[in-house]
Amino acid sequence: MTRSASESRIVANRRERRRVAEISRMFSLLQELIYPNYPYRIRFTRVAILKLATEHIQKLMFMLDPSYKPEENEMLDC
């Protein structure tokens, strides 16, 4: 039994909606883990969340090794 083009499109759209929903959920979780005390009504962009996460990781690395200095390509320009 073969699917018609419209059935295939419906399945593909459903799969894409699930994928986007999962990505959104993961970004929300990442934001919550980095800044657990921020009010939930404040939403950061995905780029901002990634920059904040990178900065947080760099701070943690410095705490573990005070001599740690990120390479120039790892530096954030926030």
The string of DSSP letters for 30-65 reads HHHHH-TTS-TT----HHHHHHHHHHHHHHHHHHH-
Q: Where residue 18 sits, what CATH number does that domain have?
A: 4.10.280
Residue range of the domain that includes 13: 5-74
- Report the number of distinct structural domains present in the chain: 1
Question: What pLDDT shows up at residue 72?
Answer: 63
Residue 74: what pLDDT?
57
* DSSP symbol at 45: -
Consecutive 10-residue averages of pLDDT for the chain (78 residues): 85 97 94 80 87 90 88 58
Q: How many CB atoms lie within 10 A of CB 30?
A: 17
The identity of residue 3, as a single letter, is: R
Whether the pTM exceeds 0.85: the reply is no
Cα 78 from Cα 71, distance rounded (Å): 16
What is residue 47's predicted lDDT score, i.e. its pLDDT?
95
